[in-house]
Structure 1
Amino acid sequence: MSERIRIGQIGVCHEHAAGKMNTLRRMPGVFEIVGFVDDRGTAAPKAAGRDLEPFAGLKQMTEQELFATPGLRAVTVETPNNDLVPAALRCMEKGLAIHMDKPAGEGDALADFKRLLSGCREKRLPFQMGYMFRNNAAMQFCLRANKLGWLGDVFEIQAGMSHDYGGEEYQEYIAKFKGGIMFNLGCHFIDFIVFLMGRPLKITPFLKSAPGYPRGVRNNCLAVLEYAHATATIRACSKEVRGGSHRRLTVCGTKGSIDLSPIERFDGRPLEMRLTLREGNAEYEAGEHILNMGIKQDRYKDQLAELAKMIRGEMENPYTCEHDLLVQEAVLAASGYTEWK
């Protein structure tokens, strides 16, 4: 049996911080949690940090104490968005493997993000970003189907990342980002689309406010990613009724299509998706298929298991630093921070 990996967490204020710690605690055979750094004093915009139950019984420490912990090998960075890259840079400088949540900061953080990626490459440190669909079974199937040519040439992608949680406090939070909800949530689908399709030729953002909100509250957004013979649209609004359970993905190609909604579920029921094929292949006949993608109880477990394998040298990161940089550049353009070039 492999020796457990000593790991700590910086931050309790990212929207995924509590969930990430819950997952680490469900993996006692893989990780030994040495403690966490409470970052609730940050001035960065945040929408989480009240739920400390996942951290109960764990040692609270300063960042300096965490870095001084004997045998520490990895850190999960779960600070608010704008603190992610600075914290990860400090981890890189200490020679630690990193799981850093998303997105990689606003426009002024891009140079530091490049320095982070370069440092991890030079030091050969595992670096994993927390885009939450990377280990989604249905979306992995979609990537495989495309690679095998089952869908033909993809010409259309439609993605929806809306929700209705958080009340007015969430609207106030999202208003603090120039890129609004596209920056905060659309990034998950940008990661998927760029992995599927490569570098876009053009990116156009439409950053709107939902009815009843001033222009600065960009909580109703659309981004269009253009390719030579395809368009990909990503929509996100924080006021769609039950929007979280209606998140959706459609990928259409000249030989077939995939429809997925909801994108994920953790209610004990299997995730299902529709595959439609013009031609049969070695695994599926022509026609429409409803595929059972299995029951999943934990969004993060498979990704953190991959992190452990990377640390042990058992696998290479399927997402390169070059991909992570391209995604961040696309996120900034789709969120109105930069012009796409």
Structure 2
Amino acid sequence: MTRRHFITTASALVASSSFAAEPRLRIGQIGTTHSHAGGKMGAIRGLKEVWDVVGVTEPDTALHASVKESAIYQGLPILSEEQLLGTDGLKAVVVETRVDTSCAVAMRCVQEGKHIHLDKPGALGHAEFKAMRLEAEKRGLTVQMGYMLRYNPAFELLFKAVREGWLGEITEIDAAMGKLADAATRKDIGALPGGGIFELGCHVMDVIVTLMGRPTAVQPFSTPNGSDGVKDNQMAVLQYSKATAVVRCNHTDPFGGPRRRFNVTGTEGTLEIVPLESGKVNLSLKQARGSYKKGTQSIQMDVPKGRYDLEFVDLAKVVRGEKALAWDAAHDIALHETVLKAAGAWEKP
């Protein structure tokens, strides 16, 4: 594992920030239809000392009235994509369109020389995603994928534990990220060849690939619960030389949120995070590590109120040239391939 696979702690990101003394960075958003779109804009607008939001683009003109009425976008001009990308001093663009158009939008932003935050999973097709990601790398531009678990303090502890060898050699990973999908969500995931695990399970697969790299093989399973053909109950097994990672994504689970979990077991210990974004960690160690004792202990990490805030704190530091993003093109490309394979939607380019 390399240094680029692990980020600094959330507290360090905030503590070391010198944004108050720096001019604000100009940023815009293209698209309001991704499930994370409103939350991302709320996070950016909340970081007033960091970002200057110049406007928002919504390709679907039928949605302009609702965007104007939304408290999240209130007061922001609705611009065409050309107007937004042509804004003087624009440094970054947040891409929050539907996944079938998001990669093409991201490529246009890259070609205009902008850093981008691209929400997950990035693209339906791998060839398109790979081309965009490599083009950004060639131009020295950052593509920050919208995987919020990267910045969660519990996962930062996990990254540290694995990096420093607390758990020994990893032998198994068990992860689940489900929910009870309403009719609208079923329609949305039903339109995706990869179903629910492609749209939602990608979050935990990002963590797995961060920890373990590209798997040697991926086996997808789909056992739909409904009669509408939607891939609503899926599992994937990611194989490594001495480990397996099992990912479940069940969109028919009425207790999916509380059951979301991530468990890593190695030859020297186990670290479990459950529920996924709660900051609650169960850590078992064969020997004391740092401030943690031998044996089993439960830890409650402080989780920032803003789910996406630290993504955009980190992005600002990258745009200012203060650091490199911890996830490079090689990681993102390997992850996208893994997600497609896990969803049973892989077509070799």
Task: State the 1:39 CA deviation.
Answer: 3.0
Distance verdict in 2 for CA 1:295–1:121, change over 3 Å: closer
Are residues 1:242 and 2:277 paired? no
Cα distance in structure 2, aligned partners of 1:8 and 1:281: 43
Cα distance in structure 2, aligned partners of 1:82 and 1:52: 24
Task: Summarize the alignment of residues 179-258 of structure 1 with structure 2, pairs less than 5 Å apart.
Answer: 179-210=194-225, 212-214=226-228, 216-258=229-271
User: How does the TM-score come out when normalised to structure 2?
Assistant: 0.89
Are residues 1:277 and 2:285 paired? yes
CA contact (8 A) 1:161 1:244 kept: yes
Distance verdict in 2 for CA 1:229–1:49, change over 3 Å: farther
Are residues 1:61 and 2:79 paired? yes
CA contact (8 A) 1:179 1:207 kept: no
Task: State the 1:99 CA deviation.
Answer: 0.6
Deviation per residue, 1:63-98 (Å, 9 max, x gap): 011012111111000001111100000000100011
Cα distance in structure 1, aligned partners of 2:68 and 2:256: 23
CA contact (8 A) 1:13 1:39 kept: no
Task: State the 1:340 CA deviation.
Answer: 8.4
SS where residue 309 of structure 1 aligns?
helix
Cα distance in structure 1, aligned partners of 2:69 and 2:140: 34
Which residue in the other structure is 1:28 paired with? Answer: 48
Aligned residue among 289, 296, 305 for 1:297: 305
Cα distance in structure 2, aligned partners of 1:179 and 1:126: 27
CA contact (8 A) 1:164 1:240 kept: yes
Deviation per residue, 1:260-302 (Å, 9 max, x gap): 111114xxxxx22110011122332211111121132011111
Are residues 1:124 and 2:140 paired? yes
Are residues 1:82 and 2:100 paired? yes
Give the number of equivalent residue pairs.
326
CA contact (8 A) 2:153 2:303 kept: no
Which residue in the other structure is 2:275 paired with? Answer: 262
CA contact (8 A) 1:219 1:237 kept: yes
Compare 10-19 and 136-145 and name the one that shifted more. 136-145
Cα distance in structure 2, aligned partners of 1:184 and 1:49: 24
Gaps of 5+ in 2: 1-20
Cα distance in structure 1, aligned partners of 2:197 and 2:67: 22
Bigger RCO of structures 1 and 2 (CA < 8 A, at least 6 apart): 2
CA contact (8 A) 1:18 1:52 kept: no
Deviation per residue, 1:92-115 (Å, 9 max, x gap): 010001110011211xx3222222
Task: State the 1:51 CA deviation.
Answer: 8.7
Are residues 1:8 and 2:28 paired? yes
Task: State the 1:339 CA deviation.
Answer: 6.6
SS where residue 55 of structure 1 aligns?
coil
Moved over 4 A (4+): 48-51
Task: Summarize the alignment of residues 105-120 of structure 1 with structure 2, pairs less than 5 Å apart.
Answer: 105-106=123-124, 109-120=125-136
SS where residue 200 of structure 2 aligns?
helix
* CA RMSD, 1 decimal: 1.9
Are residues 1:176 and 2:191 paired? yes
Are residues 1:329 and 2:325 paired? no
Task: State the 1:164 CA deviation.
Answer: 1.7
* Letter aligned with residue 329 of structure 1: E
* Letter aligned with residue 254 of structure 1: T
Which residue in the other structure is 2:323 paired with? Answer: 315
* Letter aligned with residue 38 of structure 2: A
CA contact (8 A) 1:7 1:74 kept: yes
User: How does the TM-score come out when normalised to structure 1?
Assistant: 0.91
Deviation per residue, 1:105-157 (Å, 9 max, x gap): 11xx3222222122211211121111121101111111110111110111111
SS where residue 53 of structure 1 aligns?
coil
Cα distance in structure 2, aligned partners of 1:151 and 1:11: 41
Question: Percent sequence identity over matched residues?
Answer: 37
Distance verdict in 2 for CA 1:63–1:339, change over 3 Å: closer
